[in-house]
Structure 1
Amino acid sequence: MPSAQPHETLVLFTNVRIFDSSGSDPFDGEVLVRGDHIAAVRPGSGDLPREGARVIDGQGKFLMSGLCDAHTHFSWVNSADLPGLGTMGVEEHTLLCARSAQTYIDSGYTMCVGAAAAKPRLDVVIRNAINDGQIPGPRYLANCQEIAVTGGALVDGITAFADGPEEMRKQVRRNVEMGADLVKLSMSGEEITGNQHAEDNYFSDEETLAATTEAHRRGLRVCSHARSGESVKMSLRNGVDIIYHASFVDEEGLDMLEAKKDEIFVAPGLNWLVATLQDAADFGYPPEAAEAAGYKHELECAIDGLKKMKERGIRVLPGGDYGFAWTPHGTYARDLQHFVDLLGYTPKEALLSATALGGQIMRLPDELGQVKAGFFADLILIDGDPIADITVLQDQTKIVGIMKNGQFHKDPGDGTQARPRDLDEIHRGSPVPA
């Protein structure tokens, strides 16, 4: 094996249990990181060079790819005051978004897909700051405000509006101008609003097609808030790339999803439904209100549809809608538990959906989401076995090492993290609940 260049660092993980996200079972072995990439993966020990390398003795700990959240809102800041997301000062909001980005990577998430920002440029600014090394955070695909038609906004003050194909094109062009990676269409309702229902559909085929055509022409992908069965089918008819929720998908929609299973991704955001039923009472939304609004029925329908998607081989990824008061940042791995407990995934299958499929939705299937030579060195070291207990990933203290691009965000040697002290202080002093 060639020696490392002077500017490259070498890190050798030895005595670790490797989950490589290839579909194989975990195995004992070693992983060599050179610079920002994985140089080699070997079963057993003693086969990889140690000269010039920092050796991390994992003592049998679990080494795997960093995780992916496929439906991320950096600008949701753990508040029950949803309209307040629109009125909050942009300066304060930007700082809190930076804290959200830190919390994701603190939790072992090295890949995130932006699912709309509360202000037009928040996602783009945070993505750029992460990429420039100014703040810690995951690899991020940035969005702008979600786009709704008149009368279809879910939350006042955080929505961009477009009516008709030409206005849709203009809003997509605005995303392009601001440097976004994605476009979000708010096609159906949300029961907590009281008047925008999950089984509604607000877009037309012409509007949807105009948005996707313009976005694809400029290299952006389109995601849709599509809870209703018709909004799912409209998304599929007109080239949407990522479907969020899909709670009320019907058999025709499932057939359409299966026909496009190599093109489409679904991120249901299950924890939003579960937590709204179970955890929102302290914030003024008791279980009986959630059930009366239809959330129990929606969860039952979503579970049924998602089980059928799994059987049909449709790519379903965890993550979604964290950052509300009862779905706080830092609890992201609850979705993995829901995949196991509610959808019938094995822990191994749930991990694959959050790693290998993460690389696919990030458009880097040959560079992200696996522990494999030639892939980026985005790794997490866990004091526990998520194959035996998927809930271990919900405990940050059990994620003892976090590496992105070959550099430790959380060093397994001394537990230190890359976290600017002043940002912590600003966040603690914020009037917004955190």
Structure 2
Amino acid sequence: MARLLFTNVKVFDGSDGPALPGEVLVEDNLITRVEHTVGAIEAPDAERIDGKGAFLMPGLVEAHSHLSYGNVATLEQQGDIPPEENVLNTIKAAELMLMSGFTSLYSAASARMRTDVVVRNAIDSGQFPGPRIRAASPEITCTGGLGDARLYHQDRTTFSLIADGELEMRKIIRTAWREGVDVIKLNLSGDGFVRPGNGEQTAYTEQEVAAAAQEAQLRGLWMAAHARSDSSVKLALKYGFRNIYHCDYIEGETFDLLEEKKDSIFLAPAIGMIYASVHEGSPWGLTPEVNEVIGYKKMLDTCPGVYAELQKRGLRIMPGGDYGFAWNPIGNNARDLEHFVELLGFSPTYTLMSATKWGGECMGIDNLGMIKEGWLADVLLVDGDPLDDIRILQDRDNIVMVLKDGVIHKRDLRYFDPAAADRGATVETAERIA
């Protein structure tokens, strides 16, 4: 059984409290002791890791992951990627996310029916390094909805599955359950990205949503909604969706309805995609004029007000910003933490709590997301203090150690042994450590 003693570290436990000096003992895959007095833990047979004052925190959780989207520039490009290449690209993206400090991913849709499932299973069985994953279906959408790129004269695919009517909805969810997904993703609203004004429209009828919810709930599947319009958010709440993404156009009583369900739902504004589209999307055709037409500039302006009100009402608001497109690529996911602080006005402590403690709750794992005795040893050691500057988590070189489930997946020898750089040593991965 592996035993690791972290000493001389500043411990952020995942709550809304401060980071305090201390020591943490890891045995096998669990945190077994946390003390806030250096030298309080006696563990002579444990490997002693001197953190040199580094910041020790829970692993990050991405609440809106599109691990298999391949950083495409158009929806149709996703459909052009063969499934074999898609799986290989997703495996590489999973390792990148783990090295970036994300030890868990809650998928908000897979590019193919089985991509999330296959990669989740391969990681769980130890074939490849990567975060633990809650695997999702592709985005289920209606004819003409977000993700339907077909033309009457030309059949094209993206990351979506088309389901119209109650019978098709039931069949596609039964199929997703058969293939092993954890989460059903349903595009309840459209999106201005594909059709101006579409984000304010609700895509499905209530009867279709009710049928989807019944099938998912019968099979123990969680449901996530792409829901920008006010009425789509109301449908998600009425039919027991667990994750509701965006909420851009909510108003009036919808704030009250969300507050009533605050203990059973998770929200993610996915502001990373909106920010990158507005400020960095021009090379891919997302010029200032286009962003005005599709509504993204307006959403970027109104999002802080919407989420300030939701935060005040006690909703669990989590980072996760639709990373997986050319102008918003996978691996940049920690930018959402900066957006939470700089754009939404949340404190760094609240932001880290949302990405750790609430992340564990979102994953549905009771002992994930905190540095506490008896909790899973998903641990990051960070050179620098994210509570002073949340941006340091965007630089992977600042993340000098990554543990997932008690296994060291990254150890930057340059931090622990400066002379190692002279010997050509840099970063140990799990394979080298083993």
Same fold flag (TM > 0.5):
yes
Quote the offset at 1:417 in angstroms. Answer: 4.4
- Look up the match of 1:4: none
- Relative distance call for 1:125 and 1:420 in structure 2 (3 A) is farther
How far the C-alpha of 1:413 sits from its partner, in A, is 4.0
Residues of 1 paired with 2:408 and 2:430: CA distance? 12
Letter in 2 for 1:329: I
Partner amino acid for 1:35? Answer: D
Q: 1:133 Cα deviation (Å)?
A: 0.9
Q: Residue deviations 1:173-222, cap 9 Å, x none? A: 11110100000001111212135711111111111121112111211100
Residue 347 of structure 2: aligned partner = 346
TM-superposed deviation, 1:155 = 4.7
SS of residue matched to 1:321: coil
**1:402 equivalent in alignment to 2:413:** no
Counterpart of 1:416 (choices 399, 419, 427) is 427
1:358-391, Cα deviation, whole Å (9 max, x unpaired):
0100111x31000001000000000010000010
Task: For residue 116 of structure 1, report the CA deviation from its aligned partner.
Answer: 0.8
Match in the other structure for 1:363: 364
Do the aligned partners of 2:5 and 2:47 also contact (CA within 8 Å) in 1?
A: yes
Q: Pick which of 51-60 and 189-198 moved more.
A: 189-198
| C-alpha deviation, 1:164, in angstroms | 2.0
Deviation at 1:330, TM superposition (A): 1.2
* Correspondence 1:162-201 to 2 at 5 A: 162-194=163-195, 197-201=198-202
Task: Answer yes or no: is the 8 Å Cα contact 1:212–1:221 preserved in 2.
Answer: no
Q: Distance in 2 between matches of 1:283 and 1:141?
A: 31
Aligned residue in 1 for 2:245? 244
**Aligned residue runs from structure 1 range 23-422, under 5 A:** 23-156=16-149, 157=157, 158-194=159-195, 197-364=198-365, 366-413=366-413, 415-418=426-429
Aligned length: 413
Contact 2:413 2:428 in 1 (8 A): no
Residues in 1 aligned to 2:197 and 2:92: alpha-carbon distance in whole angstroms: 31
Q: Conserved in 2, the CA contact under 8 Å of 1:190 and 1:197?
A: yes
Change (3 A) 1:43 1:384: same
Quick check: 1:86–1:119 contact (8 Å CA) kept in 2? Answer: no
Segment drifting more, 82-91 vs 188-197: 188-197
TM-score by structure 2 length? 0.92
Q: 2: CA distance between counterparts of 1:85 and 1:221?
A: 25
Question: Displacement, 1:28?
Answer: 0.2
In structure 1, list runs of 5 or more residues that go unmatched: 1-7, 422-434
Q: Contact 2:139/2:160 (CA < 8 Å) preserved in 1?
A: yes
Aligned-partner Cα distance in 1 for 2:242–2:137: 16
RMSD between superposed Cα atoms in Å: 1.5
- Asked if 2 retains the 8 angstrom alpha-carbon contact of 1:322 and 1:329, the reply is yes
SS at match of 1:76: coil
Check the 8 A contact 1:267/1:317 in 2, yes or no. yes
Unmatched 5+ residue regions in structure 2? 150-156, 415-425
| Cα separation, 2, equivalents of 1:370 and 1:239 | 27
**Could you tell me the percent identity over the aligned residues?**
42
**3-state secondary structure, aligned to 2:88:** helix
